[in-house]
């Protein structure tokens, strides 16, 4: 007998407002994300600027709101002036390969404009300086004043780019990052960089690389908090950097329970230091799966076939319904905490662990792509009060422990100017359907369920099997204030009441 769960929704009680930038993305000069990903001048599928037209169409279809670039670890040895005007290849010390340097600031902004996304630039706080960061703002945002605005004009770009979002650094707290800093060094560099960048353009919004650690943020926020609009945190839960052995479905469901802790810890730190409601959190790199790049920091790089090892990131069978369910749980968690989370950037959007896979003849849309399509098209921007009778769990044994994973993750939303209710219902259970009995305090006439389903929990899409994971829809019978909907196992669903 299929288990039933009760859900009560009060659409008139708005808890918070979600920002569309929660559905943002990220690209980096790593493996095939740029070259052979979004940018491929030699492909017959590319436009006259070298951008893959099918990729642009796919990104426009999911309403990509913002894209972060150029890193990632890459940025900590990237000097932006080398990527405008006359270009020369250079050795990328972060990823230990030659960077052809054909894709720089001008191309990135053009790419964002083509897909209708806000460009978000992450600056070099590793080997770079405060002055170099502020010069980058000059190049992008000043109309004609000074050396760098004139440089942009000489490159054929008369009007300023007006880039609004800028991050000081990337993971500079970590010993893996080129130019890592201790807490006091970091706080001072952020302060001086922020001062210079905002003197160039006071309208920009500044982020700084952070971590959910009290000591790190005490130094950062006491020194530079008054200049910051955001702090940036990152999360990869299935850590595959050295050994590419992706976790099975059930283990991935345990990871869905770990997302909230990092958000709450960072939120409490902001509150304890007096910056709650003044500084927001950007989860500007996140993915269930960590990128596979063994032996980056040690060993004889000539002895390790770097390119072949990184090709493992593009094995499409890795990206199953587990990834789709995890992504939906991540987005639900961000929506639930949208009072403090204002931006999130899936890392990356294309190839590597991305939602889109490119090959010479076209695209594969992985299971995660459909989650962004579903949420951007069907979910609302107002999070409303929801009660769930959550007494439904399944057991997962992992690492010598037994975890009790809730089968369901539910959140309800509405849209500004509309009373339609949009309810995300995620069924984590690997094998069993669930029936959701929903009660509203507004009367509705009809309902439609849009569902991402897979032929099994391990289903994936590939070049020769494009719809093993797909979106389907069906109508739901509504009885005034009540309705019942059955959801498949390992599925992501949005129920829209009209």
Q: How many CB atoms lie within 10 A of CB 265?
A: 15
| Mean pLDDT taken over the chain | 95
The owner of tokens 């369920």 is 449
Average pLDDT over residues 458-470: 97
Looking at residues 144-172, what average pLDDT do you find?
Answer: 97
Q: What percentage of the chain carries pLDDT values higher than 70?
A: 99
CA distances from 170 to 1, 72, 218, 325 (A): 50, 6, 18, 27
Place of tokens 């050295």: 242
What is the dihedral sign for C-alpha 80, 82, 84, 87? Answer: negative
Asked if residues 140 and 87 have their Cβ atoms less than 8 Å apart, the reply is no
Q: Residue 139 has what pLDDT?
A: 98
pLDDT digits (tens, 9 = 90+) for 184-209: 999 999 999 999 999 999 999 999 99
Pairing outcome for strands 356-359 and 362-365: antiparallel
Angle at 310 between CA 304 and CA 315, to 5 degrees: 135
Reported as a pLDDT band with limits 50, 70 and 90, residue 417 is confident
pLDDT per residue as tens digits for the range 346-390: 999 999 999 999 999 999 999 999 999 999 999 999 999 999 987
Q: Which residues contact 43 (CB under 8 A, 6 or more apart)?
A: 52, 360
Residue 245 and residue 259: Cα distance in Å, rounded? 21
Angle between helical axes of 130-141 and 146-154 (0-180°, round to 10): 50
pLDDT of residue 190: 98
pTM: 0.97
Per-residue pLDDT tens digits for 227-265: 999 999 999 999 999 999 999 999 999 999 999 999 999
**Mapped to the 3 state alphabet, what secondary structure does 402-441 carry?**
EEEEECEEEEEEECCCCCCEEEEEEECCCCCCEEEEEEEC
Q: Measured between alpha carbons, how far is 456 from 389 in angstroms, rounded to an integer?
A: 27
Query: Does residue 419 carry a pLDDT above 90?
Result: no
What's residue 306's pLDDT?
85
Domains in the chain: ranges and CATH: 3-13+382-497 (2.60.40.1180), 19-377 (3.20.20.80)
Contact 40, 359 (CB under 8 A): no
pLDDT (average), residues 149-166: 97
Residue-wise pLDDT for 308-348, tens only, equals 899 999 999 999 999 999 999 999 999 999 999 999 999 99
Mean pLDDT of 277-290: 97
Predicted local distance difference test score (pLDDT) of residue 356: 98
Strand 3-17 vs strand 434-440: parallel, antiparallel, or unpaired?
parallel
31: left (phi over 0), alpha (psi -120 to 50) or beta: left
Looking at residue 391, its pLDDT comes to: 80
pLDDT in the model for residue 303 = 46
- Is it the case that residue 269 has pLDDT exceeding 70? yes
CB half-sphere exposure, 376, CA atoms < 13 A:
21
Mean pLDDT of 126-146: 97
pLDDT the model gives residue 117: 98
Environment class of 360 (CB within 10 Å of its CB; exposed 0-12, middle 13-18, buried 19+): exposed
Paired tokens of 318: 């890795």
- Name the nearest CA neighbour of 163 among 105, 108, 118, 227: 118
CB atoms closer than 10 angstroms to residue 46: 18
Mean pLDDT, range 81-88, rounded to an integer? 96
Q: Give tens-digit pLDDT for 8-43.
A: 999 999 999 999 999 999 999 999 999 999 999 999
Closest CA to 121 of 167, 77, 74: 167
């Amino acid at each position: 007998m299929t288990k039933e769960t009760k859900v009560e929704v009060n659409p008139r009680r708005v808890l918070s407002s979600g920002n569309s930038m929660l559905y943002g993305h990220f690209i980096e000069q790593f493996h095939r994300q740029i070259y052979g990903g979004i940018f491929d001048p030699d492909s017959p599928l590319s436009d006259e600027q070298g951008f893959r037209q099918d990729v642009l169409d796919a990104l426009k279809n999911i309403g990509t709101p913002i894209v972060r670039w150029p890193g990632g670890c890459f940025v900590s040895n990237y000097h932006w002036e080398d990527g405008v005007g006359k270009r020369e290849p250079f050795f990328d010390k972060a990823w230990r390969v030659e960077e052809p340097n054909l894709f720089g600031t001008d191309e990135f902004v053009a790419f964002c404009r083509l897909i209708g996304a806000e460009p978000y630039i992450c600056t070099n706080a590793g080997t770079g300086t405060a002055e170099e960061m502020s010069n980058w703002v000059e190049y992008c945002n000043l109309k004609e004043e000074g050396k760098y605005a004139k440089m942009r004009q000489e490159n054929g770009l008369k009007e300023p780019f007006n880039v609004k979002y800028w991050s000081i650094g990337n993971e500079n707290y970590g010993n893996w990052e080129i130019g890592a800093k201790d807490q006091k060094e970091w706080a001072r560099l952020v302060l001086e960089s922020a001062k210079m960048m905002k003197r160039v353009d006071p309208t920009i919004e500044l982020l700084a690389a952070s971590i959910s650690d009290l000591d790190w943020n005490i130094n950062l926020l006491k020194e530079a908090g008054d200049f910051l609009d955001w702090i940036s945190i990152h999360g990869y839960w299935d850590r595959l950097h050295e050994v590419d052995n992706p976790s099975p479905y059930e283990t991935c469901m345990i990871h869905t329970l770990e997302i909230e802790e990092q958000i709450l810890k960072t939120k409490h730190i902001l509150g304890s230091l007096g910056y709650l409601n003044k500084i927001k959190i950007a989860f500007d790199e996140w993915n269930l799966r960590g990128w596979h790049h063994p032996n980056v920091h040690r060993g004889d790089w000539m002895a390790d076939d770097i390119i072949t090892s990184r090709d493992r990131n593009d094995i499409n069978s890795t990206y199953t319904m587990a990834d789709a369910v995890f992504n939906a749980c991540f987005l639900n968690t961000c929506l639930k905490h949208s009072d403090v989370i204002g931006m999130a950037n899936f890392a990356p959007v294309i190839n590597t662990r991305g939602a889109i896979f490119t090959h010479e003849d076209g695209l594969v849309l992985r299971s995660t792509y459909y989650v962004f399509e579903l949420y951007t098209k069907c979910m609302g921007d107002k999070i409303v009060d929801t009660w769930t009778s959550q007494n439904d769990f399944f057991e997962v044994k992992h690492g010598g422990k037994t975890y009790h994973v809730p089968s369901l993750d539910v959140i309800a939303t509405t849209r500004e100017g509309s009373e339609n209710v949009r309810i995300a219902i995620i069924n984590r259970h690997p094998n069993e359907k669930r029936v959701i009995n929903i009660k509203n305090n507004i009367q509705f006439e009809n309902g439609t369920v849009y569902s991402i389903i897979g032929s099994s929990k391990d289903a994936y899409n590939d070049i020769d099997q494009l719809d093993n994971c797909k979106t389907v829809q069906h109508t739901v019978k509504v009885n005034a204030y009540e309705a019942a909907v059955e959801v498949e196992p390992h599925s992501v669903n949005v129920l829209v009441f009209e």
